[in-house]
Chain A
Amino acid sequence: MEHIIVIGMNHETASVELRERLGADADNPRKALAWMRNLEVIREGFFLSTCNRVEALVVADQIDAARGSVVSLMARLGGIDPGDLMPCLYVFEQMNAVRHIFKVASSLDSMVVGEPQILGQIKEAYGLATREKTSGVILNRLMHRAFHVAKRVRSETGICGSAVSISYAAVELARKIFHLLEGKKVLLLGAGEMAELAARHLLSHGISSLMVANRTFERAVEVAGRFQGRPVSFDEIGSILTHVDIVITSTASPGYVITRNEVKQCLRKRRNRPLFFIDIAVPRDVEPQVNDLGNVYLYDIDDLKGVVALNLAQRKEEAVKACRIVEEEVGKFEKWLKTLSVVPTIVSLREKAESIIQAECAKSQSALEPLSPAQHRAVETLIRSIVDKVLNDPIVFLKERSGRPTVNTYLDLTKRLFQLNGMESQASGKVEHGGD
């Protein structure tokens, strides 16, 4: 009987220092897999190391032995005392482990729920496991199911839907106002990491021109150079406001840089085209009353934070839906795992043969009608003995290997050869290719 075990740490259980020590060396996952391959107790192994989590997934016969060796492996990898490591680790077994992996893959366990990078990282780690030949039938199946779950969660829930960073929330708002950002003009007032990030997002959405203004013109030239924008002087702002569509402000000025009157004056010249202010500065750069003007929208940093908080709350709601999908898939996986022992396979093999006999007999019924009851019996005995002889060798073969580590491969192969569970076996066929 195999056990699936996950041992790992994430952003909640372990400090960043500890995670760093394990994740510092980019070659660590390969090393870990190489060690796992050499360990007698571990049949299949997978090692994931990202900046927020370090996880080992193993398939083993004895839980305790496997757990002990994985912990000591991690300790060795990070040069940490196993005693210090233990409190930071979580251990999941069997279906809990499956559930955990599904959740991780669909980004339900991430620091920012719904972030898309983790799936790519898992795929990479799995690729490494297949190259290092530590993956087997169970792991292959498990990982492909995990990818499938992640895909389902992404398409069936809104978990990746809305922006959860301030700069991205600003871009999303801009798109709700202008629809397409192509051809729109942006003015970047001041500089700063967040403002520049927002500008970069806007640029990637196809805005046509970016102007940069700063108290010191040299600084404006420098920032403009980074974005292929046009530096403008601070005094021109009044006239520039009539041309631009989006204004990002982030100056260190203590008072308002843009006042309601200034904006109001340019509105007529703008022919009421919408104007969107993104005020990232603290203290604020744009007078709040600007928002009361028609077709002018002002979002300051707190408003944007509010949007982000709302989106995060929405993602949490969606996460409930996602958990339901995960449960469903865990159930399916459990079912598959149970078929992965010798007896059920033999039973279903016999059942399949029996159903073929029944179907074929039914087909030939009219041709066999003239036969006497004794002849009928003889024909039936003949059919059954042929089928039994054909099936005998595969069954003996499977029984002989039931105690060996390679049994799963043969079981899987048998299922595929005889198409023992329809769709199931096709799916595992795909798994096997992925593992090769």
Chain B
Amino acid sequence: MTSPWFSLALGLYLLAAGGFTVFIIRQQPWVFRCSYWILVAAFVFHTVFLGYGYCQLGTAPVLDLRSALSFFAWCLAGVYLVVQVRFKLRVLGSFVAPLAAFLMIISSAVPIAANTAKPLFKSFWLTIHVGTVFTGDALLAIAFLAGLMYLIQEGQIKKKRLGSMYSRLPSLATLDSINYHAIVYGFPLLTVGMITGSIYAQVALGRYWQWDPKEVWSLISWLFYAALLHQRLAVGWQGRKAAVLSIVCFGVLLFTFVGVSLLMGGYHSFSSMGAR
């Protein structure tokens, strides 16, 4: 049965997404304030739901696709709330809230798997591994969204067609700086997540690395992000090129997250996790 906390969070995410959509069209500050607090409420209920799941399961509730997506939505919302406090970039919510709501809808559409965990998963390392990876992923998703907004805004300024998004989107400098900061913080988290993952693998399976498809693809996306960070820090890329690359990188990351789990199997795949 779907937890009432989950349904409540889902409903509030949808409401917040709607509110943020209205906000980007109408541009009224009170619409933003309402949507923002609805999102905060959704995040709080979602936290309660995840906390409850954690207690019940004895480990982080991320063992099936349904929970993983919901956990990712939670990370995304949490990271956005932090970024909002830091950057005060209201329009970002109009991109993040619909994405979080979308993830939640998919999550709710996936059937519920058995809610017991193999002893293997009841490890402190799993929680650290998943927590850091997902927070990193959420930051990289923010980088992706900022990159997308950058390309929209840059296209308008370059082509001298200042459409309706021109006044609604923030300046290029702001978007570039968000893209940059999200990667600068997201990449180390991803790295820590991968390291703790391999430690966890050593503790649980006896091997640090075993060429599991998820491991390989994680390494590939890690290399992509490493390249992006290198171009930014050493070569001095900024603006359009960095935005495009961050979007490509996120595509790879997304494939690692969803595609590999569904298509390629391996011990990271959710089907193997459900099996006893």
Contacts and interface: CB of A to CB of B under 8 A. Distances in A.
B11 interface: no
| Size class of the A contact interface (CB-based, 8 Å) | 20 to 34
Contacts of A175: 171
B173 interface: yes
Interface stretch (A9-17, A205-213, A303-311, A343-351): A303-311
B173 A274 contact: yes
Contacts of A294: 239-241
B171 A307 contact: no
Contacts of B167: 161-162
Contacts of A273: 238
A363 interface: no
B166 interface: yes
Nearest to B170: A179
Contacts of A295: 238-240
Nearest to A304: B160
B37 interface: no
Contact of A177 (B162, B173, B237, B241): B173
Query: Which of A161, A177, A271, A307 is packed against the most chain B CB atoms within 10 Å?
Result: A177
B172 interface: yes
B236 interface: yes
A291 B171 contact: no
A177 B158 contact: no
Nearest to A314: B167
Bin chain B's interface residue count.
Answer: 10 to 19
A271 B232 CA distance: 10
Interface in B154-184: 157-158, 160, 162, 166-167, 170-174
B171 A274 contact: no
Contacts of A271: 236, 238
Nearest to B163: A310
Interface in B42-100: none
Contact of A176 (B160, B171, B238, B241): B171
Interface in A103-130: none
A216 B222 CA distance: 56
Contacts, number: 49
B198 interface: no
Contacts of A303: 160
A234 interface: no
Given A173-B157, A176-B166, A307-B162, A272 B237 contact: yes
Contacts of B239: 272, 274, 294-295
A180 B237 CA distance: 20
Interface string A28-45: 000000000000000000
A297 interface: yes
Interface in A40-67: none
Contacts of B174: 179
A317 B22 CA distance: 19
A176 B237 CA distance: 19
A92 interface: no
B152 to A, nearest CB: 12
Q: Is the interface of B mostly helix, strand, loop or mixed?
A: helix
A180 B170 CA distance: 11
A277 interface: no
Nearest to B172: A177
A294 B237 CA distance: 10
A291 B238 contact: no
Contacts of B132: none
Given A272-B238, A272-B239, A274-B239, A178 B171 contact: yes
A161 B166 CA distance: 13
B168 to A, nearest CB: 11
Nearest to A306: B160
A299 interface: yes
A289 to B, nearest CB: 13
A272 B171 contact: no
A272 B171 CA distance: 16
B127 interface: no
Interface in A259-281: 271-274
Nearest to A303: B160
Interface string B239-275: 1110000000000000000000000000000000000
B240 A297 contact: no
A177 B157 contact: yes
Interface in B125-159: 153, 157-158
A39 B236 CA distance: 77
B256 to A, nearest CB: 29
Interface string A142-168: 000000000000000000011000000
Pick the most buried of A180, A295, A303: most chain B CB atoms within 10 A of its CB: A295
Contact of B153 (A176, A272, A299): A176
A161 B173 CA distance: 21
A310 B162 contact: yes
Nearest to B153: A176
- Max chain B C-beta neighbours (<10 A), residue from A161, A162, A176, A307: A176
Contacts of A177: 157, 171-173
Interface of B: 153, 157-158, 160, 162, 166-167, 170-174, 236-241
Given A176-B153, A176-B172, A273-B238, 18 more contacts: A175-B171, A176-B166, A176-B171, A178-B173, A180-B173, A272-B237, A272-B238, A272-B239, A274-B172, A291-B158, A294-B239, A295-B238, A295-B239, A297-B158, A299-B160, A303-B160, A307-B162, A310-B162
22 contacts: A161-B167, A162-B167, A175-B171, A176-B153, A177-B157, A177-B173, A179-B170, A179-B171, A179-B173, A179-B174, A271-B236, A272-B237, A272-B238, A272-B241, A274-B172, A274-B173, A294-B240, A294-B241, A295-B239, A295-B240, A297-B157, A310-B162
The 7 closest A-B pairs by CB, nearest first: A271-B236, A179-B171, A179-B173, A295-B239, A303-B160, A179-B174, A176-B171
